[in-house]
Amino acid sequence: MIRFAALLKTFANDTMTSRHERLAELRAQLSELNARGRATEHGSPEMFAVLAEWAPVHVAVLALADELEDLPREGPQTP
């Protein structure tokens, strides 16, 4: 039973690590899209094209951040 618990813990840590890596990738994409958006003229078709790319990445970041917050954490918990 202890080996199974250790295996589950390893899997959870690997999953958490991969989620954090994915979140970092998405944040980098958002940063790049934000820079591209700021480089366009306000209200231009180019700005709206960047916003169209930005929106799904932003939604993915928020969903993944919520998912990470919902995962149990190790160590002392503060209310």
Looking at residue 51, its pLDDT comes to: 94
Give per-residue pLDDT as tens, 1-43: 556 555 556 656 667 788 888 888 998 999 999 999 999 999 9
The predicted model scores a pTM of 0.64
In a domain, residue 79? The reply is no
DSSP string for 1-53? -HHHHHHHHHHHHHHHHHHHHHHHHHHHHHHHHHHHHHTSPTT-HHHHHHHHH
In a domain, residue 75? The reply is no
Looking at residue 15, its pLDDT comes to: 77
In a domain, residue 77? The reply is no
In a domain, residue 78? The reply is no
Q: Which residue did the predictor score with more confidence, 74 or 15?
A: 15
In a domain, residue 49? The reply is yes
Looking at residue 1, its pLDDT comes to: 52
Looking at residue 44, its pLDDT comes to: 96
Structural domain that includes position 61 = 2-70
Number of domains forming the structure of the chain: 1
